[in-house]
């Protein structure tokens, strides 16, 4: 057994779980009208209501003990101190420096990184101003109207999500597009109807070696060169990377390379120059407001005690359900159309960070780690998978993200949206008993026979836990807060599970095998040393290709 599951705090939680399991939240709310006040936290306009969870004050005390015993606050302080907590890659995990808006130095390896961070922000500001004002023009002298971000994973998901979320801050004459998938359809469809004279490509890649991004960038460059000639590349291609040599090899003027550093993990890089497309499309001031929002959450995380620390509370609740209830799925359900891409973005941050099977000492863990994260925007999601959330046999924890105000106050749209938000969390908490269903059906005049038939199907067990996170409005600041909230939640869970949340070796094997398989698919080498399924599929695909 691992030290974690043997720890006093863990054992106490196991015993406590046996007491909590039979309790229904409906009763807990009836017994205690103060639940909302007791189990909610606020920070710079953001509210976390976690009262609709299967917890009592005792649960939160025992969970806090777990955080204490696992050294969460010490680990947090080590991150903010720039220590090399990413031990397999021997790197600091220091994205908090990218959004440090205070005068505090941020030290890595004995050096304050803030002057470099500010230099890059200034360089981004100058460039975005030039492009947005029309000072920077394409090779034929026309203004830039489209920014195409070429990147994948952390060099794509955060940028798309932020720009989708902040669409109402976008100017009509400057819009973003994205190429990430190596599938040529993505490139062709993205470039369809684009005017090369008014298009600016950002090649966004931390390593500048990622196969998909490099091939997409090469194809995009050919598309441009074919139409405007090779002299156009310097006016239509810029790069964001840590790898100056590769950027130069690709033919991009390194004066227009926006650097970042190895202490910025790919999935935390939206705050770095990877956010250049965001800054171009909504303006540098708005991008910096996003940093401000993240910084506000960083400060909350850095200074709040465990029992009032939102990321810590969310992390502990996640562990409560994953490890004690045995539910390893977590749904994220934003009730704002602008946040549609948020669950997808979060999948990488959470699943790439905590999808780990060994602990820091390299021993296989005997408890579940990162959950499966999924979700979609409400109310649409209500009409797809909510049936399973309410009545399915699969259990999961859920975050509902509600936004009080809408950028487009139109008739009663927002009131209906929020009513649905509130109704769902209430329904999931209370459920509907079979007695209540039977009484309703009787009042409708149904026969006893019909009631017997239908009642079990119309019964809702309830007792399904939800967090409600409320933002005043989707703005650059609140998006920054929200993202940082989840980043820190995921960080804390990694500490609790004693895993390294900062590497991603799990993506490597497939990459290696893909490069071995490629020459076989191309017929350059014989199909030997393959299992019969892979060999059979290669042969089958090659045959189809010829036909
Ligand atoms: O998916 C693996 C990964 O390494 C991510 O962590 C990263 O965000 C992505 O690939 C892209 O890498 P790069 O920015 O180096 O192209």
Q: Residue 514: which residues within 8 A CB-CB, separation 6 or more? A: 211
Report which ligand 1 atom has the smallest distance to the Cα of 241: 14
Give the integer Cα–Cα distance in Å for 290 and 281: 13
Q: Which of 74, 511, 518, 539 is catalytic?
A: 511
Per-residue confidence in pLDDT tens, the chain, 547 aa: 899 999 999 999 999 999 999 999 999 999 999 999 999 999 999 999 999 999 999 999 999 999 999 999 999 999 999 999 999 999 999 999 999 999 999 999 999 999 999 999 999 999 999 999 999 999 999 999 999 999 999 999 999 999 999 999 999 999 999 999 999 999 999 999 999 999 999 999 999 999 999 999 999 999 999 999 999 999 999 999 999 999 999 999 999 999 999 999 999 999 999 999 999 999 999 999 999 999 999 999 999 999 999 999 999 999 999 999 999 999 999 999 999 999 999 999 999 999 999 999 999 999 999 999 999 999 999 999 999 999 999 999 999 999 999 999 999 999 999 999 999 999 999 999 999 999 999 999 999 999 999 999 999 999 999 999 999 999 999 999 999 999 999 999 999 999 999 999 999 999 999 999 999 999 999 999 999 999 999 999 999 986 5
Backbone angles phi, psi at 423, to 5 degrees: -65, -40
- Atom of ligand 1 at shortest range from CA of 151: 16
What is the C-alpha to C-alpha distance for residues 517 and 60, in angstroms, rounded to an integer?
Answer: 51
Neighbours of 69 (CB within 10 A): 16
- Mutating to test ligand 1, I would choose from 154, 203, 271 the residue with most ligand atoms within 8 A of its C-beta, which is 154
Catalytic residue among 34, 37, 361, 383: 383
Residue having the nearest C-alpha atom to atom 10 of ligand 1: 153
The rounded distance, in Å, linking the Cα atoms of 63 and 322 is: 13
Q: What HEC string does 62-126 produce?
A: HHHHHHHHCCHHHHHHHHHCCCCCECCCCECCCHHHHCCCCCCCCEECCEECHHHHHHHHHHHHH
Q: Are 311 and 492 in contact (CB under 8 A)?
A: yes
Token digits of residue 102: 């205070």
Report in angstroms the alpha-carbon separations of 220 from 106, 189, 214. 38, 12, 10
Clarify whether 511 is annotated catalytic. yes
Q: Which atom of ligand 1 is nearest to the CA of 152?
A: 11
The rounded radius of gyration (Å) of the Cα atoms in the chain is 26
383 is known as an active-site residue: yes
**In the structure encoding, which two tokens stand for residue 434, read together?**
């079979």
Q: Which atom of ligand 1 is nearest to the CA of 212?
A: 16
Identify the residue whose tokens are 């994953």. Answer: 322
Note the pLDDT of residue 546. Answer: 66
Spatial CA neighbour of 488 closest among 320, 300, 341, 335: 300
For 487, the 3-state DSSP assignment is: helix
205-225 pLDDT per residue, tens: 999 999 999 999 999 999 999
**Structure token digits, residue 91:** 């790197």
Of 316, 272, 293, 332, give the one whose Cα is nearest residue 466.
332
pLDDT, residue 289, reads 98
Residue 407 is a catalytic residue:
no
Identify any residues that bridge with 222 across adjacent strands, giving them in sequence order: none
Q: What is the pLDDT of residue 545?
A: 85
154 CB less than 6 Å from ligand 1?
Answer: yes
Question: One of 352, 464, 488, 520 is an active-site residue; which one?
Answer: 352
Distance of CA 243 to the CA centre of its chain: 25
153 alpha carbon – ligand 1 mean position (Å):
5
Neighbours of 282 (CB within 10 A): 25
- ipTM value for the complex: 0.97
DSSP H or E segment with residue 295: helix 284-303
Q: Please state, as a whole number, how many other Cβ atoms lie within 10 Å of the Cβ of residue 189.
A: 12
* 153 C-beta closer than 6 A to ligand 1: yes
Look at the chain and count its residues.
547
Query: In a mutational test of the pocket of ligand 1, which residue from 161, 202, 206 has the highest number of ligand atoms less than 8 Å from its CB?
Result: 206
* Strand-pair category, 46-49 with 466-471: antiparallel
List Cβ neighbours of 20 (8 Å cut-off, separation of 6 or more). Answer: 54, 55, 56, 59
CA distance 486 to 472: 18
User: DSSP per residue over 217-271, as a string?
Assistant: HHHHHHHHHHHH-GGGHHHHEEEEES-HHHHHHHT--GGGEEE--TTS-GGGGGG
Is the C-beta atom of 330 inside 6 A of ligand 1? no
Check: CB of residue 205 under 8 Å from CB of residue 379. no
| Residue at token pair 């250049």 | 276
Q: How far is CA 105 from CA 102, 118, 256, 484, in A?
A: 8, 12, 27, 20
Burial class (CB in 10 A: 0-12, 13-18, 19+), 535: middle
The secondary structure of the chain in percent helix, strand, coil, rounded to multiples of 5, reads 55, 10, 30
For residue 48, list its beta bridge partners: 41, 469
The Cα–Cα gap between 90 and 356 comes to 18
Query: pLDDT for 295-314, tens place per residue?
Result: 999 999 999 999 999 999 99
Non-local (6+) Cβ contacts of 475 within 8 A are 166, 289, 293
How far does residue 311's CA lie from ligand 1's centre (Å)? Answer: 25
Say if residues 13 and 62 touch (Cβ distance below 8 Å): yes
Q: Is the CB of 507 under 6 A from ligand 1?
A: yes
Helices (H) and strands (E) in the chain, counts: 25, 13
Centre of ligand 1 to C-alpha 155, Å, is 7
């Amino acid at each position: 057994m691992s030290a974690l599951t043997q720890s006093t705090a863990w054992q106490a939680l196991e015993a406590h779980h046996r007491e909590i399991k039979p309790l229904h939240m409906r009763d807990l709310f009836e017994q205690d009208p103060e639940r909302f006040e007791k189990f909610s936290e606020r920070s710079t306009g953001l509210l976390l209501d976690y009262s609709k969870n299967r917890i009592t004050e005792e649960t939160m005390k025992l969970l806090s003990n777990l955080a204490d015993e696992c050294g969460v606050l010490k680990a947090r302080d080590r991150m903010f101190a720039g220590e090399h907590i990413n031990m397999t890659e021997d790197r600091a995990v220091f994205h908090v420096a990218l959004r440090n808006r205070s005068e505090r130095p941020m030290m890595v390896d004995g050096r304050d990184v803030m002057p470099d961070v500010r230099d890059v922000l200034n360089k981004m500001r100058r460039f975005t101003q030039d492009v947005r004002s029309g000072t920077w023009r394409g090779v034929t002298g026309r203004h830039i109207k489209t920014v195409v971000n070429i990147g994948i994973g952390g060099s794509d998901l955060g940028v798309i999500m932020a720009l989708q979320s902040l669409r109402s801050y976008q100017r009509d004459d400057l819009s973003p597009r994205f190429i990430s998938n190596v599938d040529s359809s993505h490139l062709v469809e993205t470039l369809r109807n684009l005017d090369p004279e008014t298009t600016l490509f950002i090649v966004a890649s931390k390593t500048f070696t990622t196969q998909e991004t490099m091939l997409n960038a090469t194809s995009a460059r050919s598309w441009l060169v074919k139409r405007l000639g090779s002299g156009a590349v310097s006016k239509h291609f810029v790069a964001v990377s840590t790898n100056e040599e590769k950027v130069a090899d690709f033919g991009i003027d390194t004066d227009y390379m926006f650097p970042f550093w190895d202490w910025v993990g790919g999935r935390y890089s939206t705050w770095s120059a990877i956010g250049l497309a965001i800054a171009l499309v909504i303006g540098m001031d708005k991008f910096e407001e996003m940093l401000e929002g993240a910084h506000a959450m960083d400060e909350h995380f850095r200074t709040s005690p465990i029992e009032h620390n939102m990321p810590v509370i969310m992390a502990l609740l996640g562990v409560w359900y994953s490890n004690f209830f045995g539910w390893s799925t977590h749904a994220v359900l934003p009730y704002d159309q602008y946040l549609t891409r948020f669950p997808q973005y979060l999948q990488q941050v959470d699943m790439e960070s905590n999808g780990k099977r060994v602990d820091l000492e390299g021993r296989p863990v005997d408890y579940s780690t990162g959950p499966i994260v999924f979700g979609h925007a409400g109310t649409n999601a209500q009409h797809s998978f909510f049936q399973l959330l309410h009545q399915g046999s699969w259990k999961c924890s859920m975050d509902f993200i509600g936004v009080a105000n809408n950028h487009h106050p139109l008739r009663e749209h927002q009131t209906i949206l929020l009513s649905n938000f509130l109704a769902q969390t209430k329904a999931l908490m209370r459920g509907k008993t079979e007695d209540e269903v039977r009484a309703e059906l009787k009042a409708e005049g149904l026969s006893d026979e019909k009631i017997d038939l239908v009642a079990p199907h119309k019964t809702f067990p309830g007792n399904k836990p939800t967090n409600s996170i409320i933002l005043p409005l989707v703005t650059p600041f609140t998006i920054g807060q929200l993202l940082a909230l989840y980043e820190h939640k995921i960080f804390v869970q990694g500490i609790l599970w004693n895993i390294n949340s900062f590497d991603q070796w799990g993506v490597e094997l497939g990459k290696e095998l893909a490069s071995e398989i490629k020459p076989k698919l191309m017929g350059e080498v014989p199909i030997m040393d393959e299992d019969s399924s892979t060999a059979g599929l290669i042969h089958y695909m090659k045959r189809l290709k010829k036909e």
